[in-house]
Amino acid sequence: MQNTFLIQRTFKILAIAMGVVGVISLGACQSMKHGTGQQASAKLEPRSGSTTTGEVVFIWQGHDVMVTGKFAGLKPNAEQGFHVHEKGDCSAPDATSAGGHFNPDTKAHGMPNSKDSHAGDMPNIKSDANGNATYSAKLSGFSVDNSATGILGRSVVVHRDPDDYKSQPAGNSGPRVACGLIK
């Protein structure tokens, strides 16, 4: 009788333990599915004599990164190129110190999220009649960390003209009008 009681109690404890492990595993799976939540941001300041400013947030969501931003001082009712650049240096008056587009896989420049694009290629910013814009894009090809594909310590740049997504090496998007360090 006592052995039967111990066996039943042991099974009960195992069942509870398995339930707890299941809940923890489910939470881990949901965490993977919904991303790690690691994030970075950049405050963009004017370059090349422009008045363009902005703030951008990068949130890592598993294999994708959600990029959101707010901008002011853009050309009214226009599109402007927007990219992650390889160096975290916005010190030059024209932001050329930021280097080229972030491209850890040495791919051609192209449409964001396509198989042939730089990791730093992002959709154009579209401004309203007052030169303001909000931005939201879910992108892949980079991460929010310090790895080889990571964007921490790099820069994000707004260009004067729209990216045509085909001209090499950078989409013919013109001078750099705002730059910010990603941290």
Where exactly are the structural domains of the chain? 1-34, 39-181
pLDDT at 9 over 80: no
- For 42-58, write each residue's pLDDT tens digit: 999 999 999 999 999 99
Active site residues: 83, 85, 101, 109, 118, 121, 159, 176
Higher pLDDT, 63 or 154: 154
Across the range 58-87, mean pLDDT stands at: 95
pLDDT value at position 81? Answer: 96
What the block records as the tokens of 124 is: 């154009």
Q: What DSSP character marks residue 169?
A: T
Model confidence at 35, pLDDT cuts 50, 70, 90, reads: very low
What would the CATH number be for the domain defined by 39-181? Answer: 2.60.40.200
pLDDT at 167 over 80: yes
Contacts of 14 (CB under 8 A, 6+ apart): none
Is 81 in contact with 162 (CB distance < 8 Å)?
yes
What the block records as the tokens of 36 is: 């790690």
CA distances from 159 to 53, 98, 150, 153, 178 (A): 12, 12, 22, 20, 7
Smallest CA-to-CA distance from 173 within 79, 61, 45, 60 is with 79
Grouping H, G, I as helix, E, B as strand and the rest as coil, residue 143 is strand
Model confidence at 2, pLDDT cuts 50, 70, 90, reads: low
- For 99-146, write each residue's pLDDT tens digit: 999 989 888 888 888 888 888 889 999 999 999 999 999 998 899 998
Q: What is the pTM of this model?
A: 0.79
